[in-house]
Structure 1
């Protein structure tokens, strides 16, 4: 098994970040955890193109990519399975500024439906909310 190439986009509103809420088993236990919108880079696709596609597919919205932030390397274990991701991180904005007024977004990925919501930076930095990929919490301290 090889590392997977992924891309995620950070949308920031004041002191809040738009994050998808998921529930289940994760590398820090069982329960709720959060991650930015994005996904796996397909063969022949650039990471910024993937991000635009993923926001369109998952949230049905258009984004503007402001800038590349960093690559986050995430090696983690759930039960006996080890996984390894290389994630390109971008700072993005909604094209439609009215979307910043929405409290929640439906996230559709195949048959799976979850919700994305505005989560405060303080809840993330304090550890009240579990965020992935590992290393993103430290990155947020630098950019927000």
Structure 2
């Protein structure tokens, strides 16, 4: 098994961050957890191209990448299975500014439908909401 290379896009609105809400088993237990929109980098695709594609595929929206933030390496365990992700993080904006007024976004990925919503940054920084990948809360506290 090899590490999975992926990319995630951080979109901010005042003191809120757009995050996909998921429910299930995760490395800290079971229940709700959150992550920015993004996905796996395909062979021959640059991480910034992946991010543009993923936002279009999952939310049906265009984004503008403002800047590269950092790379987070996340090694985690769910039950006895080890996962390993190398995540490229970007700061992004919606191309259409009207999208900032929307409260909930439908996230479509294959047969699965979830939702993305604006979550207060302080809730993820203080650990009130489980945020992945590990290390993203610290980045939000320091840089964003």
Q: Deviations over 1:113-136 (max 9, x none)?
A: 000000001100111100000010
TM normalised by structure 1 equals 0.99
Who is 2:63 aligned against? 63
Rounded Cα–Cα distance in structure 2 between residues aligned with 1:49 and 1:77: 29
Who is 1:107 aligned against? 107
TM normalised by structure 2 equals 0.99
2:85 pairs with 1:85: yes
Report the 3-state secondary structure (helix = DSSP H, G, I; strand = E; otherwise coil) of the residue aligned with 1:98.
helix
Who is 2:25 aligned against? 25
Who is 1:50 aligned against? 50
How far the C-alpha of 1:84 sits from its partner, in A, is: 0.4
Report the 3-state secondary structure (helix = DSSP H, G, I; strand = E; otherwise coil) of the residue aligned with 1:58.
helix
Who is 2:122 aligned against? 122
How far the C-alpha of 1:31 sits from its partner, in A, is: 0.1
Who is 1:141 aligned against? 141
Root-mean-square deviation over aligned CA pairs? 0.4
How many pairs were matched up? Answer: 144
Q: Deviations over 1:76-134 (max 9, x none)?
A: 00001001000000000000000000000000001100000000011001111000000
Who is 1:38 aligned against? 38
Who is 1:10 aligned against? 10
How far the C-alpha of 1:143 sits from its partner, in A, is: 1.8
How far the C-alpha of 1:21 sits from its partner, in A, is: 0.0
Contiguous gaps of at least 5 residues in structure 2: none
Rounded Cα–Cα distance in structure 1 between residues aligned with 2:139 and 2:119: 16
